[in-house]
Amino acid sequence: MSGNKYCFAIDRGGTFTDVLCICPGGKVRTMKLLSEDPERYSDAPREGIRRILKEETGEDLAPSGLVDTSKIGWVRMGTTVATNALLERKGDPVVLVVNSGFRDLLYIGNQARPKIFDLNIRKPANLYQSVVEVDCRIVPQQPDRCELKQSWKVLEGVAGTKYLEVHPVDEVALRSSLSAAREQGVSSVAVVLAHSYACPEHELRVGAIARELGFSHVTLSHEAMPMCRVVARGYTACAEAYLTPHVDRYLASFKSGFDKQLEGVDVLFMQSDGGLTNMENFRGARAILSGPAGGVVGYALTGARETELPLIGFDMGGTSTDVSRYAGSYEHVIESTTAGVTIQAPQLDINTVAAGGGSRLFFRSGIFVVGPESAGSHPGPACYKKGGPLTVTDANLILGRILPQYFPKIFGPKENEPLDHEIARSKFVQLQAEINSHLKASGDDRVLSIEQVALGFIRVANETMCRPIRALTQSRGLDTANHVLSCFGGAGGQHACAIARNLGISKVVVHKYAGILSAYGMALADVVQELQEPSGLEFSDVNAQQLKERLDALSQQCHAKLAQQGFRKIELEPFLHLRYEGTDGALMVAPSAAGKQTSAPSPLLSAYGDFHATFLERYRTEFGFVLQNRRIIVDDIRIRGLGKNETPPESKVKDASEATPPAEGTTRVHFDQGGFDAPIYLTKNLLAGHKISGPAVLIDQLSTIVVEPECGVQVTPFGDLIMNVKTGGKHGINAELDPVHLSIFSHRFMSIAEQMGRVLQRTSISTNIKERLDFSCALFGPDGGLVSNAPHIPVHLGAMQETVQYQLRVRGETLKNGDVILANHPSAGGSHLPDLTVITPVFYESHPRPVFFVASRGHHADIGGITPGSMPPHSTSLAQEGAAFKSFLIVENGLFQEQQIVERLTTPTAAKGAVGTRNLSDNLSDLKAQIAANHKGIQLVAELIDSYGLDVVQAYMSHIQKNAELAVRDMLRQIGRDTLARTGSTVLEAREFMDDGSPIALKVTIDAELGSALCDFTGSGVEVWGNCNAPRAITLSALIYCLRCMVGHDVPLNQGCLAPIQVIIPKNSILDPSEGAAVVGGNVQTSQRIVDTVLKAFGVCAASQGCMNNITIGDDTWGYYETVAGGAGAGPGWHGAGGVHTHMTNTRITDPEILELRYPMILKRFCLRTDGSGGRGQFNGGEGVERDLLFRKPVTLSVLTERRTLQPYGLAGGESAKSGRNLVVKHDGRVIALAGKTCIDVEAGDTFAMKTPGGGGFGPSGDSSKTGKGVDQEGSKRFVERGTVFNYLQAQESA
């Protein structure tokens, strides 16, 4: 550090900018400013520097009139400039250059919709303004599999990989297209070409041409991030091109206010990976987590001195809360999604949830709800006096946990007034009246006070923030209680004690700079230089020398770059991105220390340590097992260089002469235990050794810390606070309905289902479950009624309830502890045979009957039958589709019945041509994973019962089911009233047809007074000679899905949803077939038509594509399965989205590069249809997609599709969409039309060309000028969650 100069660490956040200055002599100054205050200053960080310089030196400006830099040693800063531009879509116009046929590749993305219950599907707005398709293409060589007759040029990629140049770059057409874009004023271009990460020849040529034509910002995807997966790499390149010019302008503006443009001052910016970089190297795509990363560095480096336990970072701000974990090293992820954009770059694993001080408060259908909507910084909470709504901040103010007299007067229209207690109180009076009115109408005589209402919302907010912390720990097999909570951020101190108690954590660390810890983290961080390149080599002795050479080369480059910046102390961290061959679960692995190898040494391992041992250990920790005799592939080689920080250590504070400090006064504060007169302490007066017992309020210059009753605080030698929290013991509540605990138990029950899912995903082995996440987990009551079902697979919703209740009818009193049941038969509540359901009864202590049930349903890749994959498109009986189980004891008395299950799975059914399972090992592994997931559910249920008591837990199970019933009744009352006003009747009818003419008929009779309905499917078609028969459970799932969509907000998905509805389904019909009927198509196709029929009857929106477009390709040695997106239906007020999965499915599609690397196919086209497939209307339906697959060898192609004859309907005068089409273009040019359900052998050179259906239009056409892609222009400005927990939940909703 420059000895006599002032050094600044700054966190420029969305609302506030925090400044920390280390003055000559070691004095530390802090300051907090509004990030935007244009009437007073143009740039908050620069203003903070100016103010501190003036206050400390009496001088701030140089003779030039700019901020004097002669006294500045260094500036280290994190900023949300890139994040805000991404969230608000305020970056620079970008032209995207892609291969011909892929113009909509980044719009379609992985084809999954963001929220499965939103009928108005709002996809994030594109980062590019226009697209240029360039006629050029390279594909992997595949010499052992490719049988195409071709003479394509061979190109060499990284690590000796070979690629074929199908088409060279058409430079003439490219120049013409790019010139047109340049003439429109676009100066930023992103080039995203397939396989360029490994063979960049085409991208380099396109980039050179773009620069020749005058584009000032040219981003090549292989330079932005040289990793496989063209979609994620494309998003990263677009983000780079979109954000970097915006960031550069901000940096130029920041420098312009300083004398000599900060020349001679060491200016560093924080990146998403927790490392600093020079201002010149600060790029948009690596700046997304710039601010939050500083907080992680801050708590990691300061908290570790107070404990040896792992730390959980808890950073609660105004609009959101960041949660992370530190256990001796930073936890990085390579791929994460923010604001709908997947960024491939090293990033700290920071999980952001929509719960902050500005989270809004609602009372819906008898339940307290907090967020995810936020009041933001404008208008802000009600107490900000700008017309804002009630928020968590207002609740804390009412409870006395925020003291206006200690807050700056920056509120009100002129930003010169204090927080307003009276406005918050008046709004709470209104909410209190609404809640008490509901309680009275429900027969509850209690009258809640304003403080009880506010405290209820605080409890719900706390539970909302606990869920991601549990997911971050318990899902990895870690004990949440075996951590220390590190609390920082402006609002975190008001909730820290309660959060810790809820999680069983007994110790909380609050750093003395907790209010600005992100800024302090900037001062402590190292400068980071990252280098990475793709590999593709097998991790083996044969390739060890080559891998070592690349690690050496990258290490030398990294060291040289840091040495050039003047660093003397440099550390290098090597990483290999490893995965088992044939899997997608790659892990970025650092080696164990050299000389401490635990596996066989090799030249590579002796130089850098043991990558192999670390990979096995990490894989076993993450997934619960390792794979035997499976090759390990090195996807990428990475070196992380650290220029070590030399900021001096913190100084200690003075020792206290007495145990308890003097209080500044007292204030009335409300807690669960009641109201207390709590002492107020100023943290600036606290000395080392001071001890404070709760309740108390500690006022920091930058935040407020609430010490709850039965908690205590001790001041450390460095002036930090250690809070000791009393944990354990049962919660003192009874079984009577309480609307606050209703919300809390809803979170806890859902968390159980979610944690079961994480265990299943972690311990399973098959692609379908581990990577496609095609599974669901649920909790059931003692009567088999659904309690909570994490909303993952719409077609599973409610269906498992039928399965559990079937087992109760069949086995009843015979169920005993240690039994686990397997079922998949349609007559036993199954969906289709590949979906195997594992059910475990939950026994508690001495209770003779199960007190709950847990169950998990997973899609197994094969369970026998007449075709690989057990999804034959032409099956006519259940026996042709594989092994069927009605009620099979897979575990009896705690013993896994392996011999019996192997026999059942390997024995062919009686159907002609049927065989047993083709992948027994995966079946057994996945079944064991399902059993393990259920076991996790049992543990979590037992913990919940231990905390609250069995009678309370079961009572709230019933309360939550009744609450779901109440929400549906409220909806039906509203629909009944609206229908009566519109038509004079409360009877709704609709009829839809399958492509074979089978009708789906529905008559809905609504009782608007009771909020009930009769759904009568009488008149639906008889059972069909084919596989489009839908088991009864599928019909109920479709109905629950539609009800949840129409409710429009989160409600517990349980049996209560169907309680107000009587359902009549005719026996031996297409919706409730006979026991031996084929059903595989009913699950994936008829379910969609049921949804079309229900939504048509209620008049909610036009039909979506109504098909899952199931495609199976393979031969005797391999198989590939995908479902393909189409158009969504339009509705009142919205255009339908295009290129997206709708309703009963939401599966992701394989990335084009992965597809072409692993399988003998070339993806020639994947884009939206251009023939007007979406129905026209006042609001237009979404477009279907075109997807063309060229086969490189003979294979068997199976298609199972619908809407190839009949069109998806329009509504309210809107036009119908176009139906889909399946074609095979033969290698000799002939074109053959395929039926909707068929199986055909194709040859090398043949192409399967599919057009999927569009979505119907809504309202008469003439008022709308454009087709809606379903882009979420406003939605992109809303708060967006991020992190591995969010990515996992998104992936599960995409299955």
pLDDT of residue 1283: 56
- How far apart are alpha carbons 464 and 452 in whole angstroms? 18
Residue 505 falls in which region: left (phi positive, over 0), alpha (psi -120 to 50) or beta: beta
pLDDT of residue 364: 84
- The two counts, helices (H) then strands (E), for the chain are 27, 55
Q: What is the pLDDT of residues 48-95, one digit of tens each?
A: 999 999 999 988 888 878 988 989 999 999 988 888 888 788 889 999
pLDDT surpasses 60 at 1269: no
User: 3-state SS of 1013-1080?
Assistant: EEEECCCCCECCCCCCCCCHHHHHHHHHHHHHHHHCCCCCCCHHHHCCEEEECCCCECCECCCCCCCH
Among 554-563, 601-610, 981-990, 1252-1261, which is the least confidently predicted range?
Answer: 601-610
* 231 CB-side CA count, 13 A: 23
Sequence-separated (6 or more) residues with CB below 8 Å from residue 566: none
* 328 CB-side CA count, 13 A: 2
Q: What is the pLDDT of residues 405-452, one digit of tens each?
A: 888 787 888 878 888 999 999 999 999 999 999 888 888 888 999 999
pLDDT surpasses 70 at 656: yes
pLDDT surpasses 60 at 594: no
Q: What is the pLDDT of residues 573-582, one digit of tens each?
A: 899 999 888 7
Residue 40 pLDDT grade (very low, low, confident, very high; cuts 50, 70, 90): confident
Answer whether 1031's CB lies under 8 Å from 940's CB.
no
Per DSSP, 1083 falls in state I
Q: What is the pLDDT of residues 1040-1085, one digit of tens each?
A: 888 888 877 777 677 888 889 999 999 999 999 999 999 999 988 9
pLDDT surpasses 80 at 203: yes
pLDDT of residue 416: 83
Q: What is the pLDDT of residues 271-295, one digit of tens each?
A: 988 989 888 888 888 888 888 899 8
> Which is more confident, 908 or 974?
908
Please choose, from the candidates 607, 595, 589, 592, the residue with its C-alpha nearest in 3D space to the C-alpha of residue 550.
Answer: 607
Task: Quote the tokens at residue 180.
Answer: 């047109």
Residue 542 pLDDT grade (very low, low, confident, very high; cuts 50, 70, 90): confident
pLDDT of residue 776: 87
φ/ψ of residue 476, rounded to 5: -100, 10
pLDDT surpasses 80 at 692: yes
pLDDT of residue 769: 78
Residue 399 pLDDT grade (very low, low, confident, very high; cuts 50, 70, 90): very high
pLDDT of residue 1282: 58
Please choose, from the candidates 948, 966, 951, 452, the residue with its C-alpha nearest in 3D space to the C-alpha of residue 740.
Answer: 452
- How far apart are alpha carbons 85 and 14 in whole angstroms? 11
pLDDT of residue 1091: 96
Q: What is the pLDDT of residues 988-1009, one digit of tens each?
A: 999 999 999 999 999 999 999 9
Answer whether 997's CB lies under 8 Å from 962's CB.
no
Sequence-separated (6 or more) residues with CB below 8 Å from residue 79: 11, 12, 45, 250, 269, 270, 287, 290, 291
pLDDT surpasses 80 at 650: no
Average the pLDDT over 1119-1146 and give the result.
93
pLDDT of residue 760: 85
Give the pTM. Answer: 0.84
* 1148 CB-side CA count, 13 A: 23
pLDDT surpasses 90 at 1136: yes
pLDDT of residue 978: 83
Per-residue CA distances from 630 to 435, 491, 580, 616, 627 (Å): 60, 49, 6, 12, 6
pLDDT surpasses 60 at 959: yes
Percent of the chain with pLDDT over 90: 47
The residues with which 580 forms a beta bridge, in sequence order, are 632
pLDDT surpasses 70 at 1149: yes
Per DSSP, 1151 falls in state -
- Decide the pairing of beta strands 217-220 and 188-192: parallel
Task: Quote the tokens at residue 461.
Answer: 């907010």
pLDDT of residue 559: 93
Helix, strand, coil percentages (3-state) for the chain, rounded to 5, are 35, 25, 40
pLDDT surpasses 90 at 1251: yes
Percent of the chain with pLDDT over 70: 94
Query: Which burial class, exposed, middle or buried, applies to 9 when counting CB atoms under 10 A from its CB (0-12, 13-18, 19+)?
Result: buried
pLDDT of residue 599: 46
Average the pLDDT over 462-481 and give the result.
79
State CA 1099 to chain mean position distance. Answer: 31
Per-residue CA distances from 28 to 53, 295, 306, 513 (Å): 13, 18, 21, 10
Residue 595 pLDDT grade (very low, low, confident, very high; cuts 50, 70, 90): very low
CA torsion angle 933 795 1284 127 (round to 10)? 170
pLDDT of residue 1292: 43
Task: Quote the tokens at residue 746.
Answer: 């809803």
Helices (H), 103-261: 105-108, 171-183, 201-212, 221-224, 230-256
Q: What is the pLDDT of residues 484-515, one digit of tens each?
A: 999 987 788 889 999 999 888 999 999 888 88
